[in-house]
Amino acid sequence: MQITTGKGINQLRLNERIEQLSRIGRIGETGVCRLALTPEDMDGIIQVRLWMEEAGLATRIDPFGNLIGRLEGTDPTLPILMIGSHIDSQPYGGRYDGAIGVLGALEVVQCLMENGIQPSMPIEVIAFCDEEGSRFNKGLFGSRGMTGQLEEGELERQDKNGVTRCEALQAFGCSVEKFAEGVYATGSIGSYLELHIEQGPVLESLDAPVGLVTGISGPLWLTVTIKGMAGHAGSVPMAMRHDALAGSARVIAAFDDMVRADPDAPTVGTVGSLRVFPDSRNIIPEEVSFTVDLRDMEMERRNQLEARLMNVLDEICSQHGLTYSLTEDTNSEPRYCAERIQAAIRSSAEEMGLPLPELMSGPFHDALALSHVCEYGMIFVRSKDGISHHPSEYSSPEDIALGTEVLYRTIRQMCSRLPADIESSD
């Protein structure tokens, strides 16, 4: 297989920047802790801003804490082509999550400029504030903020030390009074592209360095509470028990089986948290709550599975003399990547002789927020052993360079054509 990168991105510069950024907030040998709106996050933003300015971009930090570097187009009235990701991390995170998307985007735009390409539309490179949601327990803050999707009470959310998001933003130099000015007008963003590590094992299993994302799957989050009756573990005969944990275990196992039933479907289902009351070794469990996370690219299939889960709950609870209640915590629909951006990514990879498997994204990304205001596309880079949100997270410099080169060629295609041309080539 001959993969050609031609006169494209500067792999050395890109990798040096990734390495340098990863030393800010470094924990241990390879870990990173840059929680949103902390001094480490600010140090990262200052560094990336310097690189943006070095490249010739006009930079600003918006009221939501997003760092934006802008390259003007020949036609300032055209909608913005936005490229980015985030540089905040999990508390015990890795070097690549988010970082490659921001530094990759910067490399792409710097390369355009070095090759004398001036886009028709303005291009903005963005490092979104608080994608991870680790500190205030709610993510995609910057990307939801600038697209007008914040919810009530977001500024009052507190971190572990009682610092509110509002206080953290102010300490970061952001004026929350200016939120309204920071929201992009409807239609002002034309498209959004994001390069990200896969954070899963699919590309590695296919022996592919880069993949095309077809969409971000829609998660359904439920909390199920099953109620039985407590009793002494030594005295209540088995036939007379209403054991909420034994019932829950059967429901959870049945759920796992039903999600696995179609091995070709991308459906994933997880019960990740369980609470047992009274949680004592010699008391029959009276009440159990557990979470359900169900994701799929097809709403119909996801809805069918949800209905089957309800049947299983009915059946198992009635067999064991239990009752149950449900709350729906999140219910978002899958968001599909724009066909024409997917086509541009495909043809870029083809030019390079690079195989390009297609996959869905299970995790959220800033692209999810942007998908509500513009068309979007995503490129994944292979993750070693599928590990992410952990210091051992790894993507090779060669794979990252290939992903960035695909992004570069895609952006070059998109920005050298007027929107009218693109429309007519659909």
Q: How far is the CB of 198 from Zn ion (least distance, A)?
A: 11
- Residue linked to tokens 């994944």: 380
Token pair listed for 299: 């709403």
Asked whether the beta carbons of 79 and 41 are under 8 A apart, the reply is no
Return the number of the residue (97 or 296) whose C-beta is nearest Zn ion. 97
Question: Rule CB under 5 A: is residue 88 a binding residue for Zn ion?
Answer: no
Asked whether the beta carbons of 122 and 80 are under 8 A apart, the reply is yes
132 known ligand binder: yes
How many C-beta atoms lie closer than 10 Å to residue 223's C-beta?
A: 15
- Range in contact with Zn ion (rule: CB under 5 A) among 53-61, 91-99, 230-238, 412-420: 91-99
154 known ligand binder: no
Using alpha carbons, select from 160, 295, 283, 148 the residue that is nearest to residue 228: 283
Question: Rule CB under 5 A: is residue 139 a binding residue for Zn ion?
Answer: no
Return the number of the residue (107 or 194) whose C-beta is nearest Zn ion. 194
Q: How far is the CB of 401 from Zn ion (least distance, A)?
A: 19
Q: How far is the CB of 417 from Zn ion (least distance, A)?
A: 29
In sequence order, which residues have a C-beta less than 8 Å from that of residue 289 and are 6 or more positions away?
A: 223, 224, 225, 226, 274, 275
Q: Write the interaction track for Zn ion spanning residues 329-368; mark x where CB under 5 A is met and - where it is not.
A: ----------------------------------------
Q: How many residues contact Zn ion, by CB under 5 A?
A: 2
- Range in contact with Zn ion (rule: CB under 5 A) among 27-35, 89-97, 208-216, 241-249: 89-97
How far is the C-alpha of 46 from the C-alpha of 234, rounded, in Å?
Answer: 63
- Range in contact with Zn ion (rule: CB under 5 A) among 93-101, 115-123, 149-157, 174-182: 93-101
- Range in contact with Zn ion (rule: CB under 5 A) among 92-100, 103-111, 210-218, 307-315: 92-100
Asked whether the beta carbons of 158 and 112 are under 8 A apart, the reply is no
Token pair listed for 426: 């659909």
Asked whether the beta carbons of 162 and 93 are under 8 A apart, the reply is no
365 known ligand binder: no
97 known ligand binder: yes
E-assigned strand segments in 42-117: 58-61, 67-71, 80-86
Question: Rule CB under 5 A: is residue 97 a binding residue for Zn ion?
Answer: yes
Q: Write the interaction track for Zn ion spanning residues 5-44; mark x where CB under 5 A is met and - where it is not.
A: ----------------------------------------
How far is the C-alpha of 357 from the C-alpha of 209, rounded, in Å?
Answer: 9
Q: What is the C-alpha R_g of the chain?
A: 24
How far is the C-alpha of 307 from the C-alpha of 303, rounded, in Å?
Answer: 6
- Residue linked to tokens 């539309």: 121
320 known ligand binder: no
| Options 25, 94, 98, 334; binder of Zn ion; rule CB under 5 A | 98
Q: How far is the CB of 398 from Zn ion (least distance, A)?
A: 21
What are the binding residues? 86, 97, 132, 196, 389
Binding site for Zn ion (CB under 5 A): 97-98
